[in-house]
């Protein structure tokens, strides 16, 4: 398999952040960067659907909630190690995403976006009604006030190590996308994007490959949600409300769908910028104003987002 400059830069970026971030920043920021790594993975899933298939998914953060719920449920229900719980979260969320895809597969554009938004709303209602398991009795496993302990991966008990763990999982997720892009699914997706008639005439099973994209994007959202659950061992339903899904989609477009820097930029805007404003004594909601302006900017002048603009500014050898 050929190595691209962008791929090497991505691995180097992941290695540098994994090595230095936990050492250089304070404990509060370690948590913020951990959740940034999680949201970068989820944003990469959005970018995959949008850049490869022109499909607008407005339910990604909701799906993260599903992954988080599964991880917490497994953690408090069974004695399995974190990795199993995380994998289960990915698989269940992928299946969930595929289930969602079934009615959505016949829809395009705005109608598909609306269906995904409605499912985000549905997930929001279920999660805010039943909340996340914290070690209580029964299926929903919720007990008031206190929470049972969360078992982190053996390799990553400390917050700093867990940040590294999250960066590694996030990087593996993005490599999985790249593997798809270079293989038969990537070629099939490119044909579908050209036109569904052309794809069918090329022998591509359009339904299968669209559902596959939904499943892959769901898998990444599930892993991201599971990782986020491990960050402080608790999740709050407010994190996964439907407007958050819309916000993350908008930022994925601003950052640049379809490339790793785009997903990272989206997550930084989503997580780090509000935290910075908070640090500077400004209202974190000010970030929303900036997001709005950035979205207008992206739609009008930068179809490939900020990542595309950075790439265009690089010298030729670095592309």
Partner 1 sequence: MIELEKLTVKFGGVTALDHVSARFEKPVSGIIGPNGAGKTTTMNVISGFLRATGRVCVDGVDLGGLSPHRRTRWGLRRCFQQEQIADDLSVADNLQVLLDALPGTRTEKRADLDSALDVTGLSARADTPASELNTYERRLTDLARCLVGRPRLVVLDEPAGGLGPSETAHLGDLILSIAVLTGAQTLVIDHDVDLISRICEQTLVLDFGRRIACGETAAVLEDPKVRAAYLGIAEEGA
Integer Cα distance of 78 and 284 in angstroms: 38
Q: How many residues bind partner 1 (CB under 8 A)?
A: 18
Q: Which is nearer to partner 1, 28 or 202 (CB)?
A: 202
User: Are 82 and 230 within 8 A, CB to CB?
Assistant: yes
C-alpha dist (Å) from residue 133 to 166, 204, 230, 235: 21, 42, 13, 9
Q: What character string, x for contact with partner 1 (CB under 8 A) and - otherwise, covers 242-281? A: ----------------------------------------
Buried b (16+ CB within 10 A) or exposed e, 109-123: eeebbebbbebbbeb
Site map for partner 1, 171-200, x if CB under 8 A? -------------x--xx-xx-xxx-xxxx
Cα separation values, 52 from 26, 45, 257, Å: 38, 11, 9
Q: Residue 251's closest CA among 219, 285, 297?
A: 297
Per CB under 8 A, which of residues 199..218 are in contact with partner 1? 199-206
> What is the x/- site pattern for partner 1, positions 33-52, by CB under 8 A?
--------------------
**123-182 residues near partner 1, rule: CB under 8 A:** none
Sole residue written with tokens 């970018």: 47
Residue placing its CB nearer to partner 1 in the complex, 200 or 296: 200
Q: Which is nearer to partner 1, 78 or 201 (CB)?
A: 201
When asked if residue 87 is in the footprint of partner 1 (CB under 8 A), the reply is no
- Give the footprint of partner 1 on this chain (CB under 8 A): 184, 187-188, 190-191, 193-195, 197-206
């Amino acid at each position: 398999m050929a190595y691209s400059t962008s791929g090497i830069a991505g691995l180097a970026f992941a290695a540098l952040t994994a090595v230095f971030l936990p050492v250089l920043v304070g404990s509060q920021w370690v948590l913020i960067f951990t959740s940034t790594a999680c949201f970068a993975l989820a944003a990469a899933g959005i970018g995959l659907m949008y850049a490869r298939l022109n499909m607008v998914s407005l339910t990604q953060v909701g799906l993260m909630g599903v992954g988080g719920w599964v991880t917490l449920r497994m953690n408090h229900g069974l004695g399995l190690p974190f990795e199993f719980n995380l994998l289960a979260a990915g698989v269940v969320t992928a299946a969930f995403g595929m289930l969602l895809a079934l009615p959505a597969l016949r829809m395009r554009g705005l109608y598909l976006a609306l269906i995904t938004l409605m499912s985000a709303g549905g997930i929001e209602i279920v999660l805010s009604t039943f909340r996340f398991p914290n070690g209580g009795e029964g299926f929903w496993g919720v007990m008031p006030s206190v929470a049972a302990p969360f078992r982190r991966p053996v390799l990553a008990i400390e917050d700093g190590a867990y940040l590294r763990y999250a960066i590694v999982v996030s990087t593996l997720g993005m490599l999985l996308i790249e593997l798809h892009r270079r293989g038969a699914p990537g070629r099939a997706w490119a044909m579908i994007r050209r036109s569904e008639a052309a794809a069918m005439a090329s022998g591509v099973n359009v339904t299968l490959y669209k559902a596959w994209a939904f499943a892959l994007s769901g898998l990444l959202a599930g892993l991201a949600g599971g990782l986020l659950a491990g960050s402080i061992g608790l999740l709050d339903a407010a994190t996964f409300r439907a407007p958050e899904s819309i916000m993350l989609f908008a930022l994925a477009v601003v950052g640049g769908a379809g490339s790793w820097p785009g997903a990272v930029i989206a997550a930084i805007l989503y997580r780090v910028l509000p935290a910075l404003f908070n640090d500077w004594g400004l209202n974190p909601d000010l970030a929303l104003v900036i997001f709005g302006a950035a979205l207008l900017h992206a739609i009008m002048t930068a179809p490939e987002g900020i990542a595309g603009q950075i790439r265009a500014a690089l010298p030729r050898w670095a592309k």
